[in-house]
Amino acid sequence: MQFVLLHGYCEGTWVWKDLIPGLEKHSSILAFDLPGFGESAGMPIPLSIEEIGKSIWRVCEDLGFDKPVLVGHSLGGYVALAMASLHPEKPAGLSLFHSTIFADTPEKKLNRDKVIRAVNEYGATPFLKTFSPGLFANPDGGEAQWFSKKVAETPGSSIAAYAELMKQRPDRANDWQKLAFPLLVVAGRKDNIIDVPSSEKAIALNPRAQLEILEKSAHMGMLEEPEKSIAILIEFLSRCKATLSNH
């Protein structure tokens, strides 16, 4: 079995640092920086989430990842949903990790516009200083401080471009209802960005979906509760394996 790990907004593969050692004992892993972030900061940023999904499917094909389990954190979840919508026959499973099937609300779209204007006018630093603390249940903890230093490297052009891509992404509820492989939503009890009620709405739309809640986490469960996150994903991998073997 194979995991494809897709990181979130302003992140890189580094966000999975605590999960990869535990997961790679059970599965091959493909994790890389999305265009505009991390080691891929200099790459041109695609014009849509779907375009990113298409390019990742090409990488999967080149590397022989023919039935991967997609795991997407936040923005990465939007990419994973696009991948599943483009090729619903390809994934063995899909996990939204602090992510959502629903499009931005009008209020959220206005906030995206504010981010774009602020970054274009004042640069990345002021935005990133306010961005990181709101992602953690304990913004003064060691992991939050480490994360804050890592995201400080994010180019302002990438912050603005992806804010626009996320604002424009379509609602995936109809596609989600049709997906015929195992689905997992991992939510943080203290997450103010993707709250538990919205995750509960998502799992109610597909009987193959299950919800796991990280009780001590906000939006960064892979850093806030890594051991529990690993256990949840390994159990999900087993469910995906069992489903494949029954077909």
What single-letter DSSP state applies at residue 93? E
> Does the pLDDT of residue 247 top 80, yes or no?
no
Is 163 among the domain residues? no
Q: Which of 36-45, 96-105, 144-153 is least confident?
A: 36-45
Within a 13 Å sphere around the CA of 191, how many CA atoms are in the beta-carbon half? 25
Contacts of 238 (CB under 8 A, 6+ apart): none
Q: Which CATH number characterizes residue 51's domain?
A: 3.40.50.1820
pLDDT of residue 151: 95
At 43, the pLDDT band (50, 70, 90 cuts) reads confident
| Inside any domain, residue 68 | yes
* Type of residue at 46: P
Distance CA 39, CA 211 (A): 32
Query: Any residues with CB less than 8 A from the CB of 39 and at least 6 apart, and which?
Result: 12, 13, 32, 33
- Which domain covers residue 84, as residue numbers? 2-104+170-245
Q: Contact at 8 Å (CB) between 163 and 112?
A: yes
Measured between alpha carbons, how far is 105 from 35 in angstroms, rounded to an integer?
Answer: 25
Structural domain contains residue 131: no
If you average pLDDT over every residue of the chain, what do you get? 95
Residue at 142 is within a domain: no
Q: Is residue 129 part of a domain?
A: no
Residue 191 to residue 180: CA distance in whole angstroms: 28
Q: Quick check: is 223 in a domain? A: yes
> pLDDT tier at 191 (50, 70, 90 boundaries)?
very high
Q: What percent of the chain has pLDDT over 90?
A: 93
The answer to whether residue 197 is domain-embedded is yes
Q: Taking phi first (over 0 means left), then psi (-120 to 50 degrees means alpha), and beta for anything else, what does residue 167 get?
A: alpha
Q: What is the pLDDT of residues 100-115, one digit of tens each?
A: 999 999 999 999 999 9
Please count the structural domains in the chain: 1
Tell me, yes or no, whether 135 lies in a domain.
no
Q: What is the pLDDT of residue 38?
A: 84
